[in-house]
Amino acid sequence: MNPPLLTRPAPSPLRGRWRLKPNVVFLNHGSFGACPGAILDIQTRFREEMEAEPVQFLWRRYEERLEPSRTVLASFIGAQPRDVVFVGNATVGVNAVLRSVPLKLGDELLTTNFAYNACRNALIETSRRAGARVVIAELPYPLRTADQAVEAILRAATPRTRLAMIDHVTSDTGVVLPIEVIVRELAGLGVDTLVDGAHAPGMVALDLGKNPRPAYYTGNLHKWVCAPKGAGFLWVREDRQEALQPPVISHGNNRPRTGYTPFQDRFDWQGTIDPSPWFCVGEAIRWMQALLPGGWHALRERNRELAVAARYRQAAKLHLFGGFAHVALGAAKKARKTNSAPLRHRAAPRTTGPRGRQRSASNPGTILRGSRTAAGERPNRLRAAAHGGAEARGDCRYDGCVAGYRQTMGQPRGTRSLVTRRG
């Protein structure tokens, strides 16, 4: 018997400030946020100015529109303007970092099984070009404590690890990882961290000027900040800026501007594009700040409360229960003991290869299988999971609502030998 349909909620008093279809209940701001009408109007004016006087707009008056947005953004994320550049989205920021990190044969790039598929593909392609290897730390799901995430990541690090790409808020599961602890522990091992913060700006408070600071942080502004599509940023710690190049290399490499860093010179102009999303960022941040009396703090709390309420409502209608209610699509199997080695660099264990052969973990072709989850299922089981922000486990928060979840994506053809899994 099919579960009863959810009733349509009463429209919010704020709904009229967005231009959503009247019959649409929009729940997926985490993928493509809707932009308020007031900000779209500002973007339209920028575009009209650009078409009325293209040279004035894109050449002579470019910085005077870009810099105010950068200043507001830097304050919003707790950073200095000199350390921030705009990019089209977080995936662009990830690619810029990965293409700039020097790698050699046998080096390792570390991530988790919660990594966003597009960025995981960028890791794989980067490792293929350099003869390196992608190592995937198998985080259990659901996470019961923050320590489980930290320990799984540290167990997967080795002296060969050159960079760790870690999500701040995971895309498929809505887990807010304890990023400050992860950054600090990896730095103690000599490993730089690239934080994929695609979902974080506007959802969680950011303070990138506070120690421990990652080497790189990239985020999207078209989601919870509600800026126009094409607005993202890349923050880079000052000691890592010199080697960083944008995905598109243009005039900035040999045309310095007074008052700007070489890092900003390289990224601020990457060819002729529509820069209006970047110019609107400052206005979007201010507009959202003024939406509720308590500003951004009140707005983040309200969004979280709505997500939690929707989670419980959905769970009740689907007859789900428990702290992490979920339906497993596939038979659960007996759990296997997880590796409880001390948190230090160690050699990866020997494992069974794809066809049952024993293969050395030092072999680039090794596929290391992650341990099964606490529920006893293999990590690649497809689930429909209901997990709300009310469920907190240490510093790991589940801020999603209802998500179809698969922990391991399919790998691009011909890249299987580049990926190592460590549980």
In this model, does residue 11 exceed pLDDT 60?
yes
Higher pLDDT, residue 400 or 66:
66
With a cut of 50, say whether residue 42 has pLDDT above it: yes
Token pair listed for 321 = 């229960």
Lowest mean pLDDT among 13-27, 154-168, 186-200, 345-359: 345-359
Residue 312 vs residue 413, higher pLDDT: 312
Rounded mean pLDDT of 368-396?
30
Q: What is the pLDDT of residue 382?
A: 24
Averaged confidence pLDDT in the chain: 80
When pLDDT is cut at 50, 70 and 90, the band that residue 10 belongs to is: confident
332 or 250, which is more confident: 250
How much is the pLDDT for 422? Answer: 78
In this prediction, residue 7 carries a pLDDT of 74
**Reported confidence tier of residue 178, pLDDT bands at 50, 70, 90:** very high
DSSP 160: T
Residue 170 near residue 111, CB atoms below 8 Å: no
Tell whether the model's pLDDT for residue 397 goes beyond 60: no
| Radius of gyration of the chain, Cα coordinates, nearest whole angstrom | 22
Q: Using 50, 70 and 90 to split pLDDT, how confident is the model at 394?
A: very low
Residue 377: what pLDDT? 32
pLDDT for res 6: 67
411 confidence band (pLDDT: 50, 70, 90): low
pLDDT digits (tens, 9 = 90+) for 93-146: 999 999 999 999 999 999 999 999 999 999 999 999 999 999 999 999 888 999
Task: Map residue 282 onto helix, strand or coil.
Answer: helix
Of 258-262, 338-342, 370-374, give the lowest mean pLDDT range.
370-374
Residue 416 confidence (pLDDT): 57
CB distance 278 to 69 below 8 Å: yes
- Check pLDDT > 90 for residue 383: no
Distance of CA 258 to the CA centre of its chain: 33
Collapsing DSSP states into helix, strand and coil, what is residue 225?
coil
- What integer pLDDT is reported at residue 1 of this predicted model? 57
Cβ neighbour number for residue 244 with a 10 Å cutoff: 20
Which pLDDT does position 410 carry in this prediction?
Answer: 53
Band of the pLDDT at 412, cuts 50, 70, 90?
A: low
Q: How far apart are CA 163 and CA 165, in angstroms?
A: 7
pLDDT over 70 (residue 373): no
Beta carbons within 10 angstroms of residue 187's beta carbon:
17
- pLDDT confidence tier of residue 2, bands split at 50, 70 and 90: low
In the predicted structure, residue 162 carries a pLDDT above the cut 80: yes
Reply yes or no on whether the pLDDT at 409 is more than 90. no
pLDDT tens digits, one per residue of 257-307: 999 999 999 999 988 999 999 999 999 999 999 999 999 999 999 999 988
Measure the CA–CA gap between 336 and 222, rounded to whole angstroms: 41
Residue 306, CA distances (Å) to 67, 303, 411 in order: 34, 5, 35
Residues in Cβ contact with 311 at an 8 Å cutoff, skipping those fewer than 6 apart = 386, 387, 388, 389, 390, 400, 401, 402
Rounded to an integer, the average pLDDT of 393-420 is 46
Residue 358 in this model has a pLDDT that exceeds 60: no
Q: What is the pTM of this model?
A: 0.79
| Structural contact between residues 329 and 382, judged by C-beta atoms closer than 8 angstroms | yes
